[in-house]
Amino acid sequence: MSRRSAGWPRMLGRGLLTLAAIAFLAVFLLLPLATVFVEAFRQGAGAFLAAVGQDEARSAIRLTVLVAAIAVPLNLVFGIAAAWAMARFEFRGKALLGAFIDLPFSVSPVVSGLVYVLLFGAQGWFGPWLEAHGVSIVFAVPGLVLATMFITLPFVARELIPLMQAQGNGEEEAVRVLGANGWQMFFRVTLPNIRWALLYGVLLCNARAMGEFGAVSVVSGHIRGLTTTIPLEVEMRYNEYDYVGAFAVASLLALLALVTLAIKIALEWRYGDELAAHAPGGR
Amino acid sequence: MKLLPAVLTLLAALATTAVAAKNVTLLNASYDPTRELYRDTNAAFAAQWKAQHGDTVTIRMSHGGSGKQARAVADGLPADVVTLALARDIDVLAERGLLPRNWQQRLPDNSAPYTSTIVFLVRKGNPKKILDWSDLVRPGVQVITPNPKTSGGARWNFLAAWGYALRQPGGNEARAKAFVHALYRHVPVLDTGARGATNTFVQRGIGDVLLAWENEAMLARQEMGGSDVEIVVPSMSILAEPSVAVVDRNVDKHGTRAVAEAYLKFLYTPQGQAIAAKHHYRPRSPQVMAKFASRFPKVQLFTLKEVFGDWNQVNARFFADGAIFDQIGPGN
Amino acid sequence: MRRRMLPGFNLSLGYSLSYLGLIVLLPLAALTWKASGLGLGGLVELLRVPRTLAALKLSFGGATLAAAINVVAGLLVAWVLVRYRFPGRRLFDAVVDLPFALPTAVAGIALTALYAPNGWIGQWLAAFGVKIAYTPAGVLVAMVFVGFPFVVRTLQPVLETLEHDVEEAAETLGARRWQIFLRVILPMLVPTLLTGFALALARAVGEYGSVIFIAGNIPMKSEIAPLLIVQSLEQFDYAGAAALGVAMLAFSFVLLLLITLLQRWSRRWAENAP
């Protein structure tokens, strides 16, 4: 913080701003979360445990984790590459590339699943060839992974680009001048400078990958125990009038989100107050 | 550059759909609220098949909106059998060559082993005194029904109302259209599916009456509504015929035709019919129906064929873009 | 030339383009190809239907408004989370991601449960005659919900690395806090705020799962464009669905491109400002 000699008015201002932020978060985010848990436990803990203990729920969790474990690292590598190109170089069509990176956000989830069906479905471009070779992409795990990659593709890149642009080229150019090769520069300067943004990006990417519903729903085929991720399991239970079961499984996703939070907090602790200090001179 | 194809190949390798020799696996693509029905049916059939042939049958289920399931099968979901909400969704598969066009004649009763009908769900004590279709268009009555363009089930609702109006004394097409038009002016929320509509009505407390399949109304009362809602059976309604079929192209590829056919025939056996009745579907078999008569109130039923012809005609006339529903639905 | 100074231009750009091409552009090409079955005349015809227009207006108008709300609320929340220490800060920091983690359909059902006339929030509003669920306002609520994390998460890293010396310099020169905020900090944040706005907007435009439960879905009133796509699919009209999808995509793309250009311009302006 700049100066600690905060007077009354400033303290008051801070207090009011903090209250306003908390109020917004509470009404818009915490209440919906609370609703999920209230519905999940409406018939008691026994019903909740019975609902999440079913084999179908377990296989849905496994599949969700598997899909995220493939899609997130791929998008991580893409994000770093794209951010490097976008933030460190000037080239023609840069604005266009930026807009392309954001494109998956603006594609309706309804459509983003459909496009893979149009490509790999039985009536799609590559469908007949795939069928002849006994490969299934849609209505199988690869389709789920592809749709998830599509939906979460921009996250890491979007997180890194503004930060790297704000940081500028200076430090990297300096170590280059001092004779570091490309990878040395990347691992010793670039990566440490962007690690928190990278972490945010990965956490967001992961949360969205696990929670994605619309696109995945189109390519899944909803085969129970085989191609249903947690969000799809929620949908199916809801549609079967298993209200408590649906919310119980949904609360699992919220819990998964809390696990990622725990990881984040642990990392923050482990690496001291670097994030909290956020002092530019501290690097 | 080379990473991606490699990854895709890896993913493809993950997606093997292995079928073991002795253990037969069937995939049944069904519509939404049939989970309990088929959980019992599958267990009973697997036991019977094991006793008769010694093989273990595992039946995997896929559930979703009826139309969406039909699209998935057309786009390559390897379902051996489809058990959907309306014949039209199976017709679509026949048009794409996945099964012969005469599929409905391959099994008894138009390939619909169990049926249902459209009934009303009202608030406890029926405060608005809703007893029949004509009560739905009284001033101040709000009706909850999903959008027939996104929900297969809601098409039966629409057609039930139309058929009722048509069959009233002095009823004709113009009057039926006017009645249904009036009915949809009483619809404040147009959910995309039957389940969403039920939620809107039971949980959110919107509306005075919900139009629903009989089996779903019973399920909703049992699972969610408890004592807050009750079922009203109108004087007349439509016979909803959810259809089943073997998908020839897939069973021939998987070598599962015999099991798949036996599986669907099992639905017609006394045991299969009793399971259907237990899960609130009206059985076709008169003997089983007699046993469960107390569950299913008598109602005058008309069939789709009697009143409207086939689904192609129905869709072109009512539900296609710019057709009657677009002219008289909510918002008009 | 700067390009010579730093390595990896060809590698990073080449990789990015190939990846984008395979995962995003190829599938979207398939979509456009499917839509072309309708022909340009068919597309124009489709877009001239009043109901389609009303739905597009709701989707784009609602998303713009929601993104604007999110920029204000997001800046507030990000600022408080980064600058101030208070009990429960980490918990609040974590719940920001909730709209990503919660499946959209669950969010939709939960929001409807809150804002319906018999819900926790809805009953208070109902007392004042305000209806949220099953009206276009409900659409807005869902859109704010799904877009919110974008603004906060884009702002946070930038706020964290914001140069303090500038602020301090301004402060020693006797500037008031709000003056520093308006004249020094806000201009530096504009490009990032624009990014957040663009992302929140893009996300909300296409949103389906959380909106349909709360919207009411009455044609011409509370029907969103993605719902029309679903309706076309239910008619097995893939071409019509694809055409509407492409039209929405084109609008969004133009919007995103405009925002990117605006952003570059604002950055240049911020850099050149004294």
Give yes or no for A186 touching C (CB within 8 A).
yes
Q: Which residues contact A7 (CB under 8 A, 6 or more apart)?
A: none
Same domain, A4 and A81: no
Crossing angle, helix C186-206 and helix A94-106, to 10 degrees?
Answer: 50
Q: If we measure between CA atoms, which residue out of B310, B321, B261, B313 comes closest to residue B87?
A: B310
- pLDDT score at C274: 46
Q: What are phi and psi of A140, to 5 degrees?
A: -150, 180
- Count of structural domains within chain A: 2
Q: Is residue A12 located within the same domain as residue A52?
A: no
Spatial separation of the C-alpha atoms in residues C246 and C148, rounded to whole Å: 25
Alpha-carbon torsion, ordered C240, C62, C82, C264, to 10 deg: 70
One domain, residues A20 and A109: no
CA distance A225 to chain B (A): 8
CA distance C104 to C108: 6
Region A257-264: what's the mean pLDDT?
Answer: 74
Q: Which residue has the tokens 């800046």?
A: C75
The neighbour count for residue C266, using CB atoms within 10 Å, is 17
Q: Angle at the Cα of A107 (from A106 to A110), degrees rounded to 5? A: 135
Q: Which chains touch C (3 or more CB pairs under 8 A)?
A: A, B
- In one-letter notation, the amino acid at residue C184 is V
Q: State the number of CA atoms in the 13 A half-sphere of A259 facing the CB.
A: 11
Alpha-carbon distance of B287 to A266, in angstroms, equals 66
CATH number at residue A232: 1.10.3720.10
Q: End-to-end CA distance of chain C: give it in Å, rounded.
A: 26
- What type of residue is A37? F
Q: Rounded to whole angstroms, how far apart are CA atoms A277 and A263?
A: 19
Q: What is the pLDDT along chain B (332 residues), one digit of tens a residue?
A: 445 555 555 555 555 434 444 789 999 999 988 988 999 999 999 999 999 999 999 999 999 999 999 999 999 999 999 999 999 999 999 999 999 999 999 999 999 999 999 999 999 999 999 999 999 999 999 999 999 998 888 999 999 999 999 999 999 999 999 999 999 999 999 998 888 899 899 989 999 999 999 999 998 888 776 678 999 999 999 999 999 999 999 999 999 999 999 999 999 999 999 999 999 999 999 999 999 999 999 999 999 999 999 999 999 999 988 899 999 888 76
Residue A278 has pLDDT above 70, yes or no: no
Residue range of the domain that includes A34: 1-40
CA distance B306 to chain A (A): 31
Q: What is the pLDDT of residue B40?
A: 96
Question: What six digits make up the tokens of C105?
Answer: 């359909």
Is there a single domain that holds both residue A246 and residue A119? Answer: yes
d(CA A192, CA C185): 25
Nearest-CA distance A89 → chain B (Å): 21
Q: Do C116 and B205 touch (CB under 8 A)?
A: yes
A124 shares its domain with A32: no
Contacts of residue B83, Cβ cutoff 8 Å, sequence gap at least 6: B28, B29, B30, B31, B34, B38, B242, B243, B244
Same domain, A107 and A242: yes
Q: Distance between CA A100 and CA A11 in Å, rounded?
A: 44
Residue C162 in tokens = 């914001």
Single-letter code of the amino acid located at B187: V
Q: For B11, which of A122, A145, A222 is closest by C-beta distance?
A: A145
Chain B residue at shortest CA distance from C22: B4
Instruction: Please state the φ and ψ torsions of residue A256, each to the nearest 5 degrees.
Output: -60, -40
Both A103 and A242 in a single domain?
A: yes
> Given phi > 0 = left and psi -120 to 50 = alpha, else beta, which region is A242?
beta
Report helix angle C9-20 to A55-88, nearest 10. 140
For residue B246, the cross-strand partners are B81
* Distance of alpha carbon A174 from alpha carbon B144, whole angstroms: 68
Tell whether A63 is within 8 A of chain B (Cβ). Answer: no
Q: How many CB atoms lie within 10 A of CB C246?
A: 20
State the Cα–Cα distance between residues B130 and B136, nearest whole angstrom: 7
The secondary structure element, H or E, covering residue C161 is: helix C136-161
Q: Which residues of C touch B (CB under 8 A)?
A: 14-15, 18-19, 22, 51, 109, 112-113, 116-119, 133-134, 212-213, 216-221, 223, 227, 230-237, 240
User: How far is A206 from A193, CA to CA, in rounded Å?
Assistant: 21
Is the same domain home to A210 and A258? yes
Interface test with A, best of C132, C161, C185 (most A CBs within 10 A): C161
Write out chain C's pLDDT in tens, 274 residues: 444 578 889 999 999 999 999 999 999 999 999 998 888 888 888 888 888 999 999 999 999 999 999 999 999 999 999 888 888 888 888 888 888 888 888 899 899 999 999 899 999 999 999 999 999 999 999 999 999 998 998 888 788 877 666 777 777 777 777 788 888 888 888 888 998 999 899 899 989 989 998 998 988 889 999 999 998 888 888 999 999 999 999 988 888 888 888 887 877 776 665 4
Pairing status of strand B143-144 against strand B209-213: parallel
CB-CB contact of A158 with B112 (8 Å): no
- Residues A51 and A154 occupy one common structural domain: yes
Evaluate whether residue A280 is within a structural domain: no
Cβ neighbours around B270 below 10 Å, total: 12
Residue C59 contacts residue C48 (beta carbons within 8 Å): no
- Say if CB C159 and CB C83 are below 8 A apart: yes
CA count, 13 A, side-chain hemisphere, C142: 38
State both tokens at A37.
Answer: 């848990």
Q: What value of ipTM does the predicted structure carry?
A: 0.85
Report the candidate in C204, C2, A226, A13 with the shortest Cα–Cα distance to residue B18.
A226
Q: Do A31 and A67 lie in a common domain? A: no
Give the pLDDT score at C1.
43
Nearest to A36 among C106, C120, C229 (CB): C106
Q: How far is C274 from chain A (nearest CA, A)?
A: 18
Please name the CATH architecture into which domain C39-272 falls.
Orthogonal Bundle (1.10)
Q: Nearest CA to C122 among B15, A280, A128, A31?
A: A31
Contact (Cβ atoms closer than 8 angstroms) between residue B146 and residue B197: yes
Q: Which amino acid is present at B22?
A: K
Examine residue A12 and state whether it is found in any structural domain, yes or no.
yes
**Where do runs of H (alpha helix) occur along B167-280?**
173-184, 194-202, 214-220, 248-254, 257-266, 270-278
DSSP C205-241: HH--HHHHHHH---TTTT--HHHHHHHHHHTT-HHHH
Query: And the tokens for B169?
Result: 């004394």
pLDDT attached to residue C163: 66
How far is CA B99 from each of CA B261, C78, C239, rounded to the nearest angstrom?
A: 13, 57, 24
A103 in the same domain as A32: no
Q: Give the one of A85, A96, A163 whose C-beta lies nearest to C161's C-beta.
A: A163
The CA distances from residue C38 to A113, B9, C41, C46, C248, in Å, are 20, 34, 8, 9, 16
Contact (CB<8Å) A200/C157: yes
Asked whether the beta carbons of A77 and A202 are under 8 A apart, the reply is no
| Same structural domain, A2 and A107 | no
Cβ contact, residue pair C23, A150, below 8 Å: yes
Planar angle of CA A263, A269, A273, nearest 5 degrees: 130
Beta-carbon contacts of A189 under 8 Å, excluding residues fewer than 6 positions away, are A171, A172, A175, A180
Residue ranges of domains in chain C: 39-272
* Residue at B56: amino acid letter: T
Contacts of C185 in chain A (CB under 8 A): none
**Domain annotation covers residue A281:** no
CB contact under 8 A, A145 and B75: no
CA distance A274 to A253: 29
Pairing relationship of beta strands B229-232 and B209-213 according to DSSP bridges: unpaired
> Which of chain B's residues have a Cβ under 8 Å away from the Cβ of C212?
191-192, 196
DSSP string, chain A: -------HHHHHHHHHHHHHHHHHHIIIIIHHHHHHHHHHTTTHHHHHHHHHHSHHHHHHHHHHHHHHHHHHHHHHHHHHHHHHHHHH---TTHHHHHHHHHHHHHS-HHHHHHHHHHHHSTTSSSHHHHHHTT---TTSHHHHHHHHHHHHTHHHHHHHHHHHHHH-SHHHHHHHHTT--HHHHIIIIIHHHHHHHHHHHHHHHHHHHHH--HHHHHHHTTBTTTT--HHHHHHHHHHTT-HHHHHHHHHHHHHHHHHHHHHHHHHHHHTTTHHHH--GGG-
Structural domain includes residue A188: yes
Question: Which among A121, B68, B194 has a CA at the least distance from the CA of C233?
Answer: B68
